[in-house]
Chains A and B, each alone.
Chain A
Amino acid sequence: MSWSSCGSSSVYSLSSSILVANDPSSKLSKRRFTPNISQPGWKQRRDSSHNNGGVSKVFGYYGLKSPPYKLDALEPYMSQRTLEVHWGVHHRGYVEALNKQLEKNDIFYGCTMDELIKVLYNNGNPFPEFNDAAQVWNHDFFWESMQPGGGDMPTLGLLQQIEKDFGSFANFKEKFTEAALTLFGSGWVWLVLKREAKSLAIVKTSNSINPLVWNDIPITSLDMWEHAYYLDYRNDKAKYVNTFMNHLVSWNAAAVRIVRAQAFVNLGEPKIPVA
């Protein structure tokens, strides 16, 4: 898949907007954001990164998505302070770095985030933008993988699939915890649905790599970079992982993801009792 074939018609509308922003004679380029643009047909995107005043060439293509809960909602398991720094500084930093890199090199415009990550990964020889793009995606996914009042157990189809692929939920939990604790350095632990094998698996990745690069479908994840737990747990990784499994992981989110995944992966017929 060549990287120039990212997206479709969105590329064209985007490049027309880029032309507007770069054209010094255009009145629009002097303004940061004007909601009521009188000229019909011009689409101006919101500039989500800081403006340097005057001609704005920065094109805020990706924005920082808020977690689906307030920053103090995960207390006492993940402190507000951690969310403030992890989301507000780290995650935001990745978004801004990505936008800055993309503005220099618009061949990657027009991709969805999923496509962008695969394209930037370049089959194991990643472009420099890969790290930021992947970390933006990873953190979006991570916030959504947690919820206040999380933990407990999955139910229905997801539980059945876990029991099918791991024997029991307890065994899955043990394997997931073990994977998290034996990861060397920075990285992530994932529960993925493997497309080819049509089964769930636990995967460890280093730094910013995620299972999208192997075309697998992530179901839930755990951030094992030290910045994710250091403020709350210092070096006590085991406590952090156990707290995640018992109080933070959102099986609701995981259930939604595996349901969606079944549009792409055939997990077999459900057992419908014969009348």
Chain B
Amino acid sequence: MALRNLLIRKTLATPPLGILGFRSLKTFSLPDLPYDYGALEPAISGEIMQLHHQKHHQTYITNYNKALEQLDDAMSKGDASTIVKLQSAIKFNGGGHVNHSIFWKNLAPVREGGGEPPKGSLGWAIDNNFGSLEALIQEMNAEGAALQGSGWVWLGADKELKHLVVESTENQDPLVTKGPSLIPLLGIDVWEHAYYLQYKNVRPDYLKNIWKVMNWKYASDVYDKECPES
């Protein structure tokens, strides 16, 4: 009992809601890129990678941490309406952090295997679900080009139904908002900041070229882990 009192940070002005005992607020920080900014040239320019990583992703993390702090505060005060009000900021900034963290991992320089087609179980699954790798790429590119405004295009694995899907989400919504059993294997950022400096408004060219630096090994690893023996 004494230990519990020791661990509770806020005063007991409002009774703690059930098991809301000790919880230290974990903040998020910018993950390092597993390659240099210029390593994905000429598919994606170094300038874009640097801005995208150091400015955009960092901003999402900063705002995410801020929103989580405010949420923590509101929760311990029992401020129901503020908790609800913060949800959109958390979804947007948290989604931005989650999505971009995946994005850096699913890209790789050519000399480290970027662009090499998938083999093994993911390769099989792609052929089963889409007919061929080319067909999948075509579908994802079409979906990406058609997306209005800002968003992402995903290759996802449905854990329950045991098949692959191509989905798009708007703004920074993570793939899981389209289905709770969806696991992101590959995501392509089609926000303008991801390609504008290099490709201007020609999003289809960006989509065509990004496959040259796609890290299929990462996608295969995730697939093998989440959907074994498919």
Contact = CB atoms under 8 A, between A and B. Distances in A.
Interface of A: 85, 89-90, 93, 131, 184-187, 206-208, 225-227, 230-231, 234-235
Interface in B193-211: 193, 196-197, 200-201
B192 A226 contact: yes
B171 interface: yes
B192 A235 contact: no
Interface stretch (B8-16, B51-59, B111-119, B154-162): B51-59
Contacts of B59: 235
A225 B190 CA distance: 13
A234 B201 contact: no
Nearest to B193: A226
B150 A226 contact: yes
B148 A208 contact: yes
B37 interface: no
Question: Chain B, interface size: which category?
Answer: 20 to 34
Interface string B154-189: 000000000000000011100000000000000000
Nearest to B96: A184
Nearest to A208: B148
B51 A235 contact: yes
A227 B201 contact: yes
Contacts of B56: 235
Contacts of B192: 186, 225-227, 230
Nearest to B95: A184
Given A93-B201, A226-B192, A234-B55, A184 B149 contact: no
B190 to A, nearest CB: 11
5 contacts: A85-B200, A184-B92, A185-B150, A186-B149, A235-B55
Given A93-B201, A208-B148, A235-B193, 20 more contacts: A85-B200, A85-B201, A184-B88, A184-B92, A184-B171, A184-B172, A185-B151, A185-B170, A206-B149, A207-B148, A225-B192, A226-B191, A226-B193, A230-B192, A230-B196, A230-B197, A231-B197, A234-B55, A235-B51, A235-B56
| Most chain B CB neighbours (cut-off 10 Å) among A184, A187, A206 | A184
A185 B171 contact: yes
Given A185-B170, A235-B193, A90 B201 contact: yes
Interface of B: 51, 55-56, 59, 88, 92, 148-151, 170-172, 191-193, 196-197, 200-201
B196 A226 contact: yes
A231 B45 CA distance: 14
A207 B92 contact: no
B103 to A, nearest CB: 16
B51 A186 contact: no
A124 to B, nearest CB: 15
Contacts of B151: 185
A102 B186 CA distance: 36
B49 to A, nearest CB: 13
B170 to A, nearest CB: 7
Contacts of A187: 149
Contacts of B170: 185
Contacts of B171: 184-185
Contacts of A185: 149-151, 170-172, 191
Contacts of A207: 148-149
A89 B202 CA distance: 10
Contacts of B55: 234-235
| Most chain B CB neighbours (cut-off 10 Å) among A85, A89, A234 | A234
A89 B151 CA distance: 21
B149 A234 contact: no
Nearest to A237: B59
Contacts of A85: 200-201
Contacts of A226: 150, 191-193, 196
